[in-house]
Amino acid sequence: MSDGTELTGAQAAEQIEAGELSAPELFAAYRQRAAGDELNAFLWVADQAPAVPAGAPLGGVPLAVKDLFCAEGVPSQAGSRILEGYRPPYTATAVQRLAAAGAPMLGKTNMDEFAMGSSNESSGFGPALNPWDRSRVPGGSSGGSAAAVAAGLAPWAIGTDTGGSVRQPASLCGVVGLRPTYGAVSRYGMIAFASSLDQAGPLTRDVTDAALLLSHMAGADPCDSTCTGLPEEVVLPRAERLDGLTVGVPPQLTGEGIEPGVREVFEATLKRIEALGGSLEEIELPHSEQAIAAYYVIAPAEASANLARFDGVRYGRRAGDVQDLLSLYEETREQGFGDEVKRRIMIGTYALSSGYYDAYYGSAQRVRTKIAEDFRAAYEKVDLIVTPTSPTVAFPLGEKTGDPLAMYLLDFCTVPMPLAGIPAISIPGGLSEGLPVGIQLAGPAFSENMILDAAYALEQAIGFDGSAARV
């Protein structure tokens, strides 16, 4: 008899509602899988299923949660040794809403420390492994969530996306990853990296599950003044074709630097778009080539301010055998922060320092404005924009850790969208040398329903089979 772990989240919820599947038994089956995790995808696993509200629409289907989200009484460490063992007194709004809808927390997933990374290798608890090939990275920073879903250790998960941290690991692990419009989902209870860029989003086996989770995550929150919710209800996608849609192809994000195997899958996707009735049009995003440079000034600058709170006084690790307050700060941060976090704090502090603020941070913000203007101009001509999600497939562990610039360039296709505050989704487009390739669809602000419909139609046409990664 099936234990239900082969089902998508939506399918499992339907069977639970119909009385064909037991929610406690499904949770127990996933808990056993998560507890036996050999991918280092989980950092903490729940002992037992929490109570699920009667009639909850998600039926008790368990949820994997990125370690960046606070959960009351549960280790919430942001993948960092400086917060090792920290158990917050409150729960993030997104986690709380999903639990209330019937998706109890299965466990906390591994991630790059404070979401700073594209491979999960900067985690203070060791890297998560890619279930397609355990010698390779799962992507980052939400690598643990992506690996857990791809491997069948969880039916669905949530992560956070600052510069691509939901979409890029979704691409490398062969799952669906959605970054909503900035402000659609509350950031309350997300341990901050870069506040003007951070946004929570789902990682799922298919587009329907992504829509279902988003429908319960989104909404205004009095605890987050930047959160407006979505102007219309999220509708589960059912589109079979792309008739009437014009899809833009920007040469700046689809040209140089894309691996041949990724390009082959991308070009096949363009043909599928046309076969489904969509029309293709080349568009210009002239400032997108400066997006990486702007992002790696703005995000570290905001991180240097946000991470100043980790000083050994209020919570988390505290260095011992110190002589004064300054030594306490220095030793705590030296022992608790990893190399990548220290690097970004130093870059950000320098960019914000007197005499350099306008030259670096001010210039980066002006580029950000230009990028947003480019997208607005493009959406006057096209409905959606399509690109590869990542310029490469999953690469071997350790290959890029000694070259931070090479690691940063992995976000080349995903960074422009957060800078513009617009939504984007990554869906599996096929395989290159046996490894998944992601396809990214981006739309104007608050166009989630259109993006989900188009992604669903494309997903059905592609017919990607991710079962090879499941344990």
Q: Which residues are catalytic?
A: 66, 141, 165
Tokens (6 digits) for 229? 């919710």
The residues with which 224 forms a beta bridge, in sequence order, are 221
The dihedral over CA atoms of 56, 62, 66, 69, expressed in degrees to the nearest 10, equals 40
**Which tokens belong to 437?**
């390739």
Q: What type of residue sits at position 232?
A: E
Before 141, cis peptide (omega within 30)?
Answer: yes
